[in-house]
Chain A
Amino acid sequence: MTDLERHEYDVIVIGAGGAGLRAAIEAREQGLRTAVICKSLFGKAHTVMAEGGIAASMGNANAKDNWQTHFRDTMRGGKFLNNPRMAELHAKEAPMRVWELETYGALFDRTPDGKISQRNFGGHEYPRLAHVGDRTGLELIRTLQQKIVSLQQDDHRETGDYESRLRVFAELTVTDILKGDDGAVSGAFGYWRETGGFVLFSAPAVILATGGIGKSFKVTSNSWEYTGDGHALALRAGASLINMEFIQFHPTGMVWPPSVKGILVTESVRGDGGVLRNSEDKRFMFDYVPDVFRGQYADTEEEADRWYKDPENNKRPPELLPRDEVARAINSEVKEGRGSPHGGVFLDVSTRLPAEEITRRLPSMHHQFKELADVDITAEPMEVGPTCHYVMGGVEVDADTAATSVPGLYAAGEVAGGMHGSNRLGGNSLSDLLVFGRRAGVGAAEYIAALGDSRPAIRDVDIDRSTETALAPFRDASENPYTLHSELQQKMNDLVGIIRREEEVREALEMLDGLDERAESVGVEGNRPFNPGWHLALDLRNMLAVCRCVALAALERTESRGGHTREDFPGMDPQWRGVNLICTLDDTGTVQLKRQPVPEIRQDLLELFERTELSKYLTEPELSRLDAGSAESAQGSEQS
């Protein structure tokens, strides 16, 4: 291989969003020579799209908040399918991760006493989201980007080279994770988007931080980068994916004009007082409070409105239910003919807050609607509907170290699974990125320290195979990658979307068989330098693999929970609560699905909940074990 560029690092971080950058900062601070690889320019990752805030129980807005309440809210939001250890670590460490950002230079909005301001959000008991207007993701990405630059400046002072310990490889796509003879990670293979030239990275540790899979759906808030690369890289490297059936449809995406359909409308609109109405001008969310959340949400508009001023003595408005509930409610309203002219519902903040307050609190929403839809949100309601936003499922990892089952392979952020169970709360993503991004950096450092000098070697046969696969689309073949992609998006949206049925999911699987076959004869025009058709052809194989996992898991889980709604199995079944669905690839490259128990929730964590609430989620045997355990610990404390 004459045109193969080679690099050697301790750790390779794939992805430069919040998780990737936080992992890279940690790895570099742990003394590792670190490379960050991203498909886009540095600082453009999808994290910039996050609007509402970072959930962390700092207690600045309500002193009653603490990690236990954050843990409880996270488990409720995920319908108790979360990896409980991840939810615990997340709730405990989020405040420090946010405070750290201030030392990097972040400027959050402030409380009157000068602390970080915190706002209300769906599913969070207290105002908990650190924010900067409605552009918190941009603040996060820029802050981490500037921290990376700051570390590079330190290195420059010391070594004369900005990139001696930490280098960003922008506009480079990784196509394969490589392993040594013993099955441990040996590096990664990819190509420069600009030149099409191939690059080989030797490194004993790889951290996946590639984000989600939303570009497999037609209506999505996700950018082109979200093609499930990390999910597919992990699968092909031998790691497993969990819970891929759980996909979050954000309740409020733009619905008009067609070209912006799916673009996110932040949940902060509702957190700050915005309400949802149907074509009959009714605040319909009061009709959609599910049993598990009764008692926590207001029954009347009057009480809901009082809550904004007096949250101690009133219950929350149902517009602030977790996202899965609100998305399903909107879907039903539209289906039953009470939708807005362009097939959504009305989200109105104009009659709820003074215009000046709206432009101050929601500046980018004001800007977005004005520029893209000719709608002035200070004077008229927005039209909104569900949009594919986030995948709860992802690479199976160890909670403490972010390690996958492949030695040397780590995953953090959206690409990792387990943390959010069946549904993620708003604001818990940015905190997830920081908490587990950092933990992945630490995990990789510990692994490398234990490895000593015996680093796995890259095998030539792998380089040849990766090269061949990457060049394959330059064949004389007729299938157009854009056509295949748009068919995939349409079908996934229609058949494995927000509401699912057995026959439709089966149809999706057949559709995927057909697309897999056609993908074999995708051909691209032109040459290797900056060729988007070629890039899409390579991303397509990742999307197809991930979509198959989604469809297989969606077919298997015969209940409705969080981001998985089966019209033919509408209820939540406690038997299913304890089951994770695991996807792996077998020797022939075929996806295999199996069931695996969800890690048990520790007794002390279970005791953070009322028994009556737990009884809505757990099976009878689980409840009996809980009771036995409580009796034992009560006895234990009597004795001591």
Chain B
Amino acid sequence: MSYDAKFKVWRGDADGGTLEDYTVEVNEGEVVLDIIHRLQATQTPDLAVRWNCKAGKCGSCSAEINGKPRLLCMTRMSTFTEEQTITVTPLRTFPVMRDLVTDVSFNYQKAREVQAFSPPADLQPGEYRMQQVDVERSQEFRKCIECFLCQDVCHVVRDHEDNKPAFAGPRFLMRVAELDMHPLDTADRRPAAREEHGLGMCNITKCCTEVCPEHIKITDNALIPLKERVVDRHYDPVVWLGNKIRRRGA
């Protein structure tokens, strides 16, 4: 049942680092995070990694496994062959702090820039009435565990540091969409989506949707509808093109 796996783990800090080789025991049913923990307990007690719930619910243990953004706790070792070398590196889009831990403060800054929920001023606690069908759209986006894998993979910022100030990233554009679709939110979020959060920079390649561990349809259900709402006010070439293509296909 057990075997020895070959791992390459990035070790280093802001000044640089390298991939280091390890051979480490793997048992049935384990996930990559188990192996990282075994490394800590037996070979490298100071290996830095973030984690919390180990059940895919908190979104702390984000990293890149063989180049793909993944949660360490939800990546089972059985998805690899016993011969395969597994490479674990920190999220590429954010500055490294140490080993697998990156500085994700970009995301917390972006969160602050999205105007908070704005309920009707005269509605008292206990008086909120909403239909299930109306809350479901936003509920899908509230499944987000803020692992920031979508932020990591998004090519608008992945290798373009200069785009960061003007672009909120899929997670926070989705937050704008969530509030926009909230049955009781009173704010008009369209101008900010375009002018402050950089919605126009998204060209719906769906990379974010592909890496979402919660399987939220970020592009189809949040970003495209938001673009369509914004386009009511402004021209967006991607939406225009998307509509053209869809119409032609139909």
Which residues of A come within 8 Å of B, CB atoms?
40-44, 46, 48-49, 58, 95-96, 99-100, 102-105, 107-110, 112-117, 132-133, 135, 137-139, 142, 146-147, 149-150, 152-153, 156, 162, 194, 223-225, 256-260, 263-264, 363-364, 367-368, 371-373, 480-483, 486, 524-527, 529-534
In the complex, the answer to whether A109 meets B125 with C-beta atoms within 8 Å is no
- Complex-state Cα separation, A259 to B33, whole angstroms: 10
* B18 close to A (CB within 8 Å): no
* B23 close to A (CB within 8 Å): no
- Complex-state Cα separation, A325 to B46, whole angstroms: 42
- Distance of B51 from chain A, by nearest CB (Å): 7
Residues of A within 8 A of B41 (CB): 480, 482-483, 486
- Complex-state Cα separation, A49 to B55, whole angstroms: 9
* B116 close to A (CB within 8 Å): yes
Q: Residue on B with the closest CB to A261?
A: B29
- Complex-state Cα separation, A107 to B139, whole angstroms: 7
- Complex-state Cα separation, A128 to B55, whole angstroms: 26
Q: Residue on B with the closest CB to A225?
A: B52
User: A-facing mask of B60-77, CB < 8 A → 1, else 0?
Assistant: 100000000000001010
Majority secondary structure of chain B interface residues (helix, strand, loop or mixed):
loop
Q: Residue on B with the closest CB to A264?
A: B55
Residues of B within 8 A of A257 (CB): 28-30
Residues of B within 8 A of A150 (CB): 116-117
- Distance of B109 from chain A, by nearest CB (Å): 9
In the complex, the answer to whether B57 meets A49 with C-beta atoms within 8 Å is yes
In the complex, the answer to whether B112 meets A139 with C-beta atoms within 8 Å is no
- Complex-state Cα separation, A156 to B46, whole angstroms: 38
Residues of B within 8 A of A117 (CB): 132
The residue in A49, A137, A139, A525 that gathers the most chain B C-beta atoms within 10 A of its C-beta is A49
Name the contact of A223 in the complex, choosing from B53, B116, B117, B182 (C-beta under 8 A). Answer: B53
- Beyond A260-B31, A527-B46, 8 additional pairs, beta carbon < 8 A: A44-B58, A99-B128, A109-B132, A110-B131, A153-B115, A223-B51, A258-B30, A530-B98
- Distance of A213 from chain B, by nearest CB (Å): 16
- Complex-state Cα separation, A458 to B28, whole angstroms: 52
Would you give 11 A-B contacts (Cβ < 8 Å), ordered by A? A40-B60, A48-B57, A96-B125, A99-B125, A153-B112, A153-B115, A259-B30, A371-B74, A481-B45, A483-B41, A530-B48
Residues of A within 8 A of B47 (CB): 532
Residues of A within 8 A of B144 (CB): 142
* B243 close to A (CB within 8 Å): no
Chain B residues 232 to 247 lying within 8 A of chain A, measured CB to CB, are none
- Complex-state Cα separation, A152 to B114, whole angstroms: 12
User: Known contacts A102-B125, A153-B116; is A41 also within 8 Å of B29 by CB?
Assistant: no
* B191 close to A (CB within 8 Å): no
User: Known contacts A105-B182, A114-B131, A152-B112; is A95 also within 8 Å of B52 by CB?
Assistant: no
User: Known contacts A48-B58, A263-B55; is A110 also within 8 Å of B130 by CB?
Assistant: yes
In the complex, the answer to whether A113 meets B60 with C-beta atoms within 8 Å is no
In the complex, the answer to whether B54 meets A223 with C-beta atoms within 8 Å is yes
Residues of B within 8 A of A146 (CB): 116-117
- Complex-state Cα separation, A482 to B40, whole angstroms: 8
* B97 close to A (CB within 8 Å): yes
Q: Residue on B with the closest CB to A482?
A: B41
User: Known contacts A149-B112, A258-B27; is A102 also within 8 Å of B128 by CB?
Assistant: yes
Residues of B within 8 A of A162 (CB): 112
* B192 close to A (CB within 8 Å): no
* B126 close to A (CB within 8 Å): yes
- Distance of B93 from chain A, by nearest CB (Å): 16
- Distance of B114 from chain A, by nearest CB (Å): 8
Residues of B within 8 A of A95 (CB): 126
- Distance of A107 from chain B, by nearest CB (Å): 5
User: A-facing mask of B136-153, CB < 8 A → 1, else 0?
Assistant: 001100111110000000
In the complex, the answer to whether B142 meets A113 with C-beta atoms within 8 Å is no
Name the contact of A99 in the complex, choosing from B126, B131, B145 (C-beta under 8 A). Answer: B126
User: Known contacts A103-B125, A110-B132, A371-B74; is A532 also within 8 Å of B145 by CB?
Assistant: no
Q: Which 3 A-B pairs have the closest CB atoms?
A: A257-B29, A526-B46, A105-B117
Chain B residues 12 to 45 lying within 8 A of chain A, measured CB to CB, are 13, 27-31, 34, 40-41, 45
User: Known contacts A40-B52, A44-B52, A105-B116; is A364 also within 8 Å of B57 by CB?
Assistant: yes
Residues of A within 8 A of B248 (CB): none
Residues of B within 8 A of A103 (CB): 119, 123, 125, 128
